[in-house]
Each structure stands twice: as structure tokens, then as C-alpha cells.
Amino acid sequence: MSLDASSRLNSLRNGPDPRGRFGTFGGQFVAETLMPLVQELDAAYQKAKADPAFHEELDYYFRDYVGRPSPLWHASRLSQELGGARIYLKREELNHTGSHKLNNVMGQILLAKRMGKTRIVAETGAGQHGVATATVCALFGLKCVIYMGATDVERQKPNVFRMHLLGAEVKPVTAGAGTLKDAMNEAMRDWVANVADTYFLVGTVAGPHPYPQMVRDFQSIIGIETREQIMKAEGRLPDAIVAAIGGGSNAMGIFHPFLDDADVRLIGVEAAGHGLDSGKTAASISRGRSGVLHGNRTYLLQDENGQIDEAHSISAGLDYPGIGPEHSWLNDIGRAEYVGVTDQEALDAFQLLTRTEGIIPALECAHGLAYVQKLAPTLRPDQIVVLNLSGRGDKDIFTVAKHLGADL
């Protein structure tokens, strides 16, 4: 695989600039105590990126532990059901631990080991990132502390139990609404207090530079494989790629290798919650504005005074009030489209995929699917849509059951 974009001229794939910015977004907005750490991390990452041995090691773990490449599945029953386009699913839910999160986590843990760090902290919302992090910490024998909002600890019990089994310490965060943004604050507090031995393993394409770039690079394997697989299957690139967006790592991973292919529509699906204008939403691009939180400038849900709003989504993995800075930039330059899908639409799509393809999707990617449901019928049968199926839905069956009135 190639993580290096630096040699491409006039490419949308060259970001960020040396200041860690994508246009006006990104940057390094952290306390002075963290500046030496993010600079050390940046140097270590650039060095690893240029080292073939690092790529060999990562390829080995991708293949034999994560289970890559993941298949690209032609969902023919779903395509038939919806009418219109040929729909493909990039099966990231088949990765070990059940989501795309392991790609990034595997890359970062190898980097943390190179840097000699012995303790890992991470934040998690739905628990997918927490489980992936706890998994690699078990694999490499590193101490693992996961911060998780108290609300999420309650609604994602199976994942909390998994993290415990894997030997991680799960610290519930009661500040704020007890969701992902509060867990992120708490993980940053831990990092600043334990700078000597601790590696902060960020779960999405956000945070201070180099995280947005680094996580994107590790997740780009999704798009690189998709490109090869669709060429093999169809002999051409897709017409549209659809992916759900919380922080935006699965979307960035599948989008990035296609940024320079102007004919491929890239569509990010934000969680609209109760509706884009309901005030209970997680759609940072559609309903936010530029601001600074968690080390980067990006679109944020915030009030008129610059206080950060709580995000809402039925999916614990999507209710984050910000988004990766590269997405904010892709939105502003018009390269990617960002749309909203409600809780109810996602629930409906969740059931549709289960019944037509025998695949139970995570509620996150059910949002992506709900948009494919709208998009596909408007396209011709020879047009191709790829949905990044970023995670499996086992963790969400309790939430879905509750909404369907079933008692588990």
C-alpha cells in the first residue's frame, strides 16, 4: 500500500500543509504542555511513513490479524429492491472486532510501540474504537485506559464488557452529557497529565495535526482496495461513494484515494438525529460553523457565543459535535457532498439491509444506507454506488429492539 501523497502535484490528496491545515481547517490548537507531544508524534509518524519496514509490518498485521482485504460485495437483492443503480458494499464490518476502526488502531499501535510508549489512552463513543484499541493493547501487552461517556457506557454495555474482557480499564465520564465529546476532553486531560509514557490513540480523523492526516492515511486502505476491486468487478470507477460521518474516519478512508477522480461523487452522510432543524442533531457540516475544539479548527455545532452544543443521534458513534477538518475543507471546496439522515430513516435502513442481504449493519452505516435508498432510484441501472459498510450491528441490537418495541 502507499501512504505517501507528497509526490503528487496539483492533487487534492496532498493535504495538509506544513501547518497541519486543510484550507483554513485543522491546525494544532492544544495547550503548551501538549505541543511537544504532538510535534514528537508528527516527527515519529513522518519517519515511520518513510520507512518500508513500517509498511511491511502494517501490511502483515492487516492481512493476518485484521483480515484484509475486506470484500467488495455486490448487493444484488438490495439493488433490485431499490431499483436503479448497482450497489456494492465495502465490507469493513468483516474486519476483526467488527468495524473499520481496527485499521487505524493497528497503524497507531505500531507507531506507539516505535515511540516506546507503554500506556495507551483512547476515547470512545459507541465503543467500536474502544474495543479495537483494547484489542491491540491485548495483542501487544500494553496498558489500556478507555474514556467513555457515562451515557454511552449505559447504552453500549456489550462493548463495555468486551473491553473489560480484553483487559482495558473503562473510565466512565460524567461531565457534560456523558457522550463522546466529554470522553475526548477527559482523554486529553489524561494525556496532559501523563505525558512521559502515554500515547493518545485518537479514533477518528480529528484532533490536532498530525492525527487527521495519520488516521486518514491508515484508513485509506479502504479506498485503495475499493478502487482495485471495483475496477476488477466493473472495469471502471463508481459513480458515487457513500459513507456515514461522525468524526469521519471511515468516509475519509474510502474517499481519499478518489479525491482526484472528479467524476466520482463523494457523499458523506451526517446524522440528522430528530431532523436537521430539530435542534437535536449531530450534523456538524449542515448545521455547524467554523470553530476550534479538541485541537483543530473545523465545523462545530455551537451556540452564538461559541459554546459547544451537545450532538444527538440514535447512534452513539455519530453524536459528536465536530467533524474531521479535511471533511470541512472538502465541503467548502465542493469536492464532497454532505447530507443528513434522521434516526428513523437509519432504523428503517437497518432493517432493510438485514432482510435483503442478511447483513446486520451498525447504526452508523445504516445512515449511509438510508441515503443510498434515496439515491439509487434516481440513477440508471448501469450506474454504480459503493457504500462503505463500516461496522456490524451486533452492538446496536438493544437500541434497535427498544425502538421496535421488542424486549430482549
CB of 305 to another protein, least distance (A): 4
CB of 30 to another protein, least distance (A): 6
Helix pair angle (101-114, 52-61), 10° resolution: 140
30 binding another protein? (CB under 8 A): yes
Q: Has 11 been annotated as catalytic?
A: no
Residue with cell 470507477: 237
Contact (Cβ atoms closer than 8 angstroms) between residue 242 and residue 309: no
Q: How many Å apart are CA 373 and CA 390, to the nearest integer?
A: 17
Query: Which residue of 279, 306, 377, 381 would you call a contact of another protein, by CB under 8 A?
Result: 306
- In angstroms, what CA-CA distances link 352 with 84, 135, 256? 16, 31, 28
Nearer to another protein by C-beta: 123 or 357? 123
The catalytic position among 123, 186, 270, 345 is 123
Helix (H, G, I), strand (E, B) or coil at 387: strand
Q: Using the rule CB under 8 A, give the single segment among 94-102, 213-221, 255-263, 290-298 that binds another protein.
A: 290-298
Q: Using the rule CB under 8 A, give the single segment among 48-56, 240-248, 252-260, 299-307 that binds another protein.
A: 299-307
Residue type, 258: F
Query: Which residue of 9, 31, 53, 408 would you call a contact of another protein, by CB under 8 A?
Result: 31
Categorise residue 405: left if φ over 0, alpha if ψ from -120 to 50, beta otherwise: left
- Backbone phi, then psi, for 302, in 5-degree steps? -155, 160
Contact (Cβ atoms closer than 8 angstroms) between residue 92 and residue 388: yes
247 binding another protein? (CB under 8 A): no
Q: Has 390 been annotated as catalytic?
A: yes
291 binding another protein? (CB under 8 A): yes
Binding mask 140-179 for another protein (x = CB under 8 A): -----------------------------------xx---
CB of 53 to another protein, least distance (A): 28
23 binding another protein? (CB under 8 A): no
CB-count exposure of residue 206 (10 Å: 0-12, 13-18, 19+): buried
293 binding another protein? (CB under 8 A): yes
Q: How many Å apart are CA 113 and CA 118, to the nearest integer?
A: 8
Q: Has 123 been annotated as catalytic?
A: yes
- Please identify every residue annotated as catalytic: 101, 123, 390
Q: Which residues bind another protein (CB under 8 A)?
A: 19, 27-33, 35-37, 175-176, 181, 184-185, 188-189, 192-196, 290-295, 300, 302, 304-308
